[in-house]
Amino acid sequence: MRRLFPSPLSPADLDDREWGLDELADFYAYPDAPPAQGGAWLRANMVSSLDGAAHHEGRSQPLSSDADMRIFGTLRGLADAVVVGAETVRQEGYRPARAREAFAARRAALGQGPAPVIAVVSAGLGLDFSLPLFTSPLVPTIVLTGAEAPADRVAEARAAGAEVVVAGEGRGVDPVLVPRALAERGLSRLLTEGGPRLLGQFAAAGVLDEMCLSLAPVMAAGSAPRIAAGPPLEVPERFALGSVLEENGFLFTRYIRHQRL
């Protein structure tokens, strides 16, 4: 992996070598978040093909690489909570996050639990609550939903061991309330792994602070969505380049919302 931006500190930074998880964790450490969102910082991590596809036949794995998965794992290792849309949970067969030795000391020093909480966003709660994601995570999975979510499904989620958090007045979640609701539970280093419909709402609501975009050197064509879907923002929001790493033609970019600089 090579560091392309910020400009390499020394010629060694341009060397194509494997970065250790500690080095990646330092590179991607969360900033101290100002109190605007209850102290929360919402980072997204997504992979896209050259032509903008956010999945291939329903899965993101065909667009990914070993280095992409190392960064994916590192970003999880740094997060208090992983916020994910219910369709991604269903399509990708989400499992509980693992406690990884590589991040244990760093997490303990920051007072974080052994693994990030997975927070699933759903209106209908059409989720299989008998899955390990709900019944046997290291830390209870959160289900974020609206006040008018189906009561029987809410009861089923709770019976399975999930913590149901209401973050919206109707059936659905108000994306603005998500960082606040999680920060109130002491979860302020937030990572969203999409999918596109959820990410589009976070961007439109003006709560997306940081975008980690892996650009895969592949063409996919087809009808897969871009990494963010849904209604357009009234005015496209500007982000500043934070960093770029490269490995095997993959670009691992990070952009920070201008307002947060």
123 makes contact with ligand NAP (CB under 6 A): yes
Q: CA–CA separation, 153 vs 149, rounded Å?
A: 8
Q: CA–CA separation, 30 vs 78, rounded Å?
A: 8
Q: Which of 112, 141, 188, 201 binds ligand NAP (CB under 6 A)?
A: 201
- When the beta carbons of 13 and 87 are compared against ligand NAP, the nearer one is 87
Beta bridge partners of 202: none
- Residue 81: which residues within 8 A CB-CB, separation 6 or more? 116, 117, 118, 119, 142, 182, 187, 189, 190, 191
- When the beta carbons of 17 and 95 are compared against ligand NAP, the nearer one is 95
Please return the burial class of 251, using the count of CB atoms within 10 Å of its CB with bins 0-12, 13-18 and 19+. middle
Residue nearest to ligand NAP (CB): 195
Q: Which of 40, 83, 195, 215 binds ligand NAP (CB under 6 A)?
A: 195
58 makes contact with ligand NAP (CB under 6 A): yes
How many C-beta atoms lie closer than 10 Å to residue 38's C-beta? Answer: 14
172 makes contact with ligand NAP (CB under 6 A): yes
Range in contact with ligand NAP (rule: CB under 6 A) among 4-12, 17-25, 118-126, 156-164: 118-126
Where does this chain bind ligand NAP (CB under 6 A)? 46-47, 54-55, 58-60, 85-88, 91-92, 121-124, 126, 172-173, 175, 193-198, 201, 227, 229
